[in-house]
Structure 1
Amino acid sequence: MARQTHGGGDDMDDSPQQSLQFDILVADGFVLSEFAAVIDCLRIANRVSPQPVFAWRYLSAGGGSVTSSSMATVETEPHDMQPDAEYAIAIGNFDPDCPQLALGRVIAAYTGRQARVILLAEAASRYIRDYGGPTADLTTHWENAEFMIERYAGMETGQSLAAEKGSVLTCAGMGATYDIILNVIGKHTTMAIRQRVADVLLHETIRDFQSMQPIAGAQVRLSGDKGVDRCIALMKAHIEEPISVQELAAKLGITVRSMERWFRSVLNTTPGRFYREMRLNRAMNLLLNTSMSVQEIGLACGFCGGFTHVFKSTYGVTPNELRKSRHGRSGDASPAVASDAKNDGFDRSKPSQRWLKAQSELRSGAN
């Protein structure tokens, strides 16, 4: 792809310069909102700058048409193993097990030429999974992080929007993609241009890389009511080992009746029902997005017994029936997922400590 020329921001001279090249890496089922966030930020930056600043092209493992999760398609070139781009950005695709996200050699091709690599959501998860070193200073989307904790013993990541390690930036993706690319734009233009792009996008606040993902403990309004928000935060902190409504009230320093009034007024439900639905929602995510067994999922979501009954009474189908209808497989890992798991470098003979604790409690209860 021919490079565009550009003049920089207000504090740069008007002599033509080579534009910064971004290689956008996509895989089948890529997340269209992340893709659009990257392209729109760069496109608007070019529009509001004195001369175009950024150029980009689309690449994939095999080249040709690649279809997003929402069925939009993009034409791509094959991965370039001798790239001359300043940045490579890998878009997530809701499936960290996707073979096209195994980008180790591609990443090395860019970092070996002093390029920066930005990995969004599932692309970050796959990199973290394949990385082989400490993972606490890497990050991915909070939902992927939950799946990884359950699938791989001891694999916990950071909870910030993005984390830099050398030339690789792992990111949460989704809405945070705007923040990441706006920060990159600010690095290569001016703060005025960065803010102008944010204003055009109606993006009110540009978060830095160290900002926490909202689900990971940042101060966010979940329900619109401060008291209910505090209670929901406690529930989220006790998904695997649920506490009683009485314990929740005690931790908040209120009566059970007051807490019930809060929930009825704000959410039109009871604290107990909301708590159970929250745990079932997490179980649904694990069921559809991991290879964990139904028993493991039940334990991970605080159901030491009766998980299938509660699930069916809520959703009208058993966990196995739902998984089979969505993926054509039973409650245990499919051959493809199981085969991939055997080769990913992690020891599944060591289940997570939380799973072991739950199993121990089950045995103690049986005795």
Structure 2
Amino acid sequence: MAAITDTLRIANRVLARPLFDWTVRSASGGQITCRSGLSVETQCFAAKPEADFAFVLGNSDPAHPGLSLGRVVQSYTSRGAQVYLLAEAAARHIRSQSGGGAGAHTTHWENSDLLREQLGLDLGAHALARQDGLVVTCAGMGATTDVVLALVGQLTSAAAQVTVANILLHDHIRDFASLQPFAGHAPTTSGDRDLDDCIRLMQANIEEPMPIRAIVTELGLSNRSLERKFRTFFGTTPNGFYREMRLSKANNLLLNTTLSVREIGLACGFPNGFSSLYKSIFGITPFALRKQRRTRPVSETAHSAHSGAPRPV
């Protein structure tokens, strides 16, 4: 669960306006204790959930009756919510489909082996995640962070996504098609090694940004080739991505340090006009945002299989 809530919490930290809230839910509500001994307060499943996204956690036993959540999943998907089924929850969903369309789903490789032995189901390559309409099945474990980072990138920007990954010390953001590690797949941030090298150069040169022409020279690429790669993978230009990355770092410093606005601008490669640029992008000045956040209560709502505006559950 921490892979979900911590990633969303950090995303809220680096965004000018927090986007996520979440609620932890269970069949009976109240305190739920996991096998590792950790407990969390939960609310009952809502009859008419209003979440935009729901994450269903797994259980060490794929046959556990608590994973029979077909109606709960449907209560979300029928209202247009995207549902993420992690590990054993994914395996239980695949079982409930009676094998039909098994190739459209995935789960942790241990669960895949059980499904093959017990039901003769072959899920094909062991992908980290697969999307089938409003249902995403996922390997769980470390892949959960990749899936949540993908959601952050989808709802914010690629630069904000990379910033959150950096704070998490998550070296590589793997896409859904990446193979689970035991298959020997070498993950990268984007799947394109030149693009990954470019992003690493940008990350290493935030305070004194490298001109794009210097980056392409370093990589041995043409301007047009790099532009095409950024448009294909991130839907933006190299300059636009680089600027968003620096602004994401500026947000983090603005909201979580006592550095002055000028010092933050300098630290993020904006020696002049930082406040004006910030306002043109976010609609609020850095001074106003910092004041707004400091006058707000510091508490965060503790919730889960559900978040809010967008809300996962």
Provide the TM-score with structure 2 as the length reference: 0.58
Letter in 1 for 2:175: D
Distance 1:78 1:120 in 2: 20
Query: Which residue is 2:43 aligned to?
Result: 77
Distance 1:125 1:211 in 2: 19
Distance 2:143 2:5 in 1: 14
Query: Which residue is 1:187 aligned to?
Result: 154
User: Offset at 1:95?
Assistant: 1.1
Distance 2:68 2:182 in 1: 27
Give the 3 Å change call, closer, same or farther, for CA 137–216 of structure 1 in structure 2: farther
Query: Which residue is 1:134 aligned to?
Result: 101
Distance 1:128 1:81 in 2: 24
Letter in 1 for 2:91: S
In the alignment, is residue 162 of structure 1 matched against residue 129 of structure 2? Answer: yes
Higher relative contact order (CA 8 A, sep 6+): 2
| C-alpha contact (below 8 Å) 2:125/2:179 kept by paired residues | no
SS in 2 for 1:65: strand
SS in 2 for 1:208: coil
| C-alpha contact (below 8 Å) 2:102/2:121 kept by paired residues | no
Give the 3 Å change call, closer, same or farther, for CA 94–157 of structure 1 in structure 2: farther
Distance 2:103 2:184 in 1: 16
User: Offset at 1:122?
Assistant: 0.5
Letter in 2 for 1:173: G
User: Offset at 1:141?
Assistant: 0.3
In the alignment, is residue 213 of structure 1 matched against residue 213 of structure 2? Answer: no
Q: Please provide the CA RMSD for this pair.
A: 1.3
In the alignment, is residue 175 of structure 1 matched against residue 142 of structure 2? Answer: yes
Deviation digits for residues 214-250 of structure 1 (CA, Å, limit 9, x no counterpart): 1235248xxxxxxxxxxxxxxxxxxxxxxxxxxxxxx
In the alignment, is residue 152 of structure 1 matched against residue 119 of structure 2? Answer: yes
Deviation digits for residues 118-169 of structure 1 (CA, Å, limit 9, x no counterpart): 0000010001110231201200000111111111124545410000001000
Identity of aligned residues (%): 47
In the alignment, is residue 66 of structure 1 matched against residue 32 of structure 2? Answer: yes
Q: 1:116 aligns with which of 82, 90, 108?
A: 82
SS in 1 for 2:84: strand
Distance 1:192 1:118 in 2: 23
Letter in 2 for 1:186: G
Deviation digits for residues 66-88 of structure 1 (CA, Å, limit 9, x no counterpart): 11121100011111121010001
Query: Which residue is 2:52 aligned to?
Result: 86
Larger Rg: 1
| C-alpha contact (below 8 Å) 1:140/1:170 kept by paired residues | yes
Provide the TM-score with structure 1 as the length reference: 0.49
Query: Which residue is 1:28 aligned to?
Result: none
User: Offset at 1:94?
Assistant: 1.1
Distance 1:88 1:39 in 2: 12
Give the 3 Å change call, closer, same or farther, for CA 126–157 of structure 1 in structure 2: farther
Distance 1:145 1:113 in 2: 30
Distance 1:195 1:154 in 2: 36
SS in 2 for 1:136: helix
Letter in 1 for 2:55: I
In the alignment, is residue 42 of structure 1 matched against residue 11 of structure 2? Answer: no
Letter in 2 for 1:113: R
